[in-house]
Amino acid sequence: MDNRGVLQWPANRFLLFYYGRRLCWSASITAQATALLRLHGTLLFDMPLSIQHVVTWMSFHGLIVEGEGGALRDLMTVHPFLFYEGYVAEAFYPTTWSLNDELPLFPIGTPRFGITDFARLSLTAENASTYEQQLILHLEHSPITCVSPSYPSFGAYNGLGIWYPTPAEVTAGFRFLHAMMLSGHGVDEFGVGYWELQQTRGPAYGYGGFVRIARHLKLIRNAFLMGVNGVGYCYRTFDRMMLRNTSIAYGRVQMYPYLHFN
């Protein structure tokens, strides 16, 4: 964990594909759950959750979708795992990225960590004027798993500076989606606003494992919000929340500067 309250990957390279399937969604949703549970005080700071657990559960139930749009559809079907199965710690089920495992039988008394609130927030014509402010509001409670287009130029992006798709890519549209964890936002020295996201390639990539994508192109069109017993996202109280002014002239908003994790 770092001072954003989010999980840093120990490896310099992160496996996005296994047997031709995208698993970025599993890394992002596990990082989000880890961050939220640590902010909530439920999970010890030195106890990572098992990514393999959610991968095996989803694969065992035939819920991992291959091909175009798989990251979004996988995230749309992961909520039964979050609500009813619950994560175990990495120490109980180390990550191997296998999609062929049988569901393990954990010893009686093995701690489980679940989520009580989960919802999808999508960019629509009706909420276009308030969508970004809603994302910023929820960032004040915890990081957010989001899905953005995976253009070819993003694969070639070195993680530094602000990434934009090329005009030709925007014209051609996109086929694949990529899941990352949204952790902050900012404005660069040229006045360009950006979202800061944790990429799944490890801390040697980008800004300590984080990348920046332009805000004005509205590339983040789907976000997945979590809550634990009212901490973090909770749809029952959203209408009563106030949108705080988080605009800044230049610099980055670190959403969790008061947290100091190893």
Could you report the per-residue pLDDT of 172-202, keeping only the tens digit for each? 877 678 888 898 898 888 999 999 988 766 6
Query: Which of 216, 206, 214, 222 is CA-nearest to residue 164?
Result: 214
Whether pLDDT at 68 is above 70: no
Read off the tokens for 223.
Answer: 């976000």
Q: How confident is the model at residue 54 (pLDDT cuts 50, 70, 90)?
A: very high
Whether pLDDT at 250 is above 90: no
CATH number of the domain encompassing residue 138: 3.90.70.10
Domain annotation covers residue 214: yes
Query: Which of 74, 115, 106, 108 is CA-nearest to residue 88?
Result: 106
The pLDDT value given to residue 67: 58
Domain annotation covers residue 10: no
**Residue range 118-133: average pLDDT?**
88
Domain annotation covers residue 62: yes
Give the torsion through C-alpha atoms of 124, 129, 131, 133, to 10 deg: 180
Kindly write down the DSSP assignment for every residue of 117-148, as one continuous string.
Answer: EEEEEE--TTTTTTHHHHHHHHHTTS-EEEEE
Any idea which residue has 């993003």 for tokens? 154
The pLDDT value given to residue 53: 93
Domain annotation covers residue 72: yes
Could you report the per-residue pLDDT of 73-107, keeping only the tens digit for each? 888 889 889 988 999 999 999 888 777 788 888 88
Q: How confident is the model at residue 241 (pLDDT cuts 50, 70, 90)?
A: very low
Residue-number span of the structural domain to which 206 is assigned: 17-254
Domain annotation covers residue 2: no
Classify residue 27 by its DSSP letter: H
What is the tally of structural domains in the chain? 1
**What HEC string does 51-97 produce?**
HHHHHHHHHHCCCCCCCCCHHHHHHHCCHHHHHHHCECECCCCCCCC
The pLDDT value given to residue 209: 78
Domain annotation covers residue 215: yes
What is the C-alpha separation between 101 and 222, in angstroms, rounded?
Answer: 30
**Residue range 6-21: average pLDDT?**
40
Read off the tokens for 38.
Answer: 């640590």
Read off the tokens for 45.
Answer: 């700071």
Domain annotation covers residue 36: yes
Whether pLDDT at 16 is above 60: no
> What does pLDDT average to over the chain?
74
Domain annotation covers residue 7: no
**Residue range 32-38: average pLDDT?**
86
Whether pLDDT at 249 is above 80: no
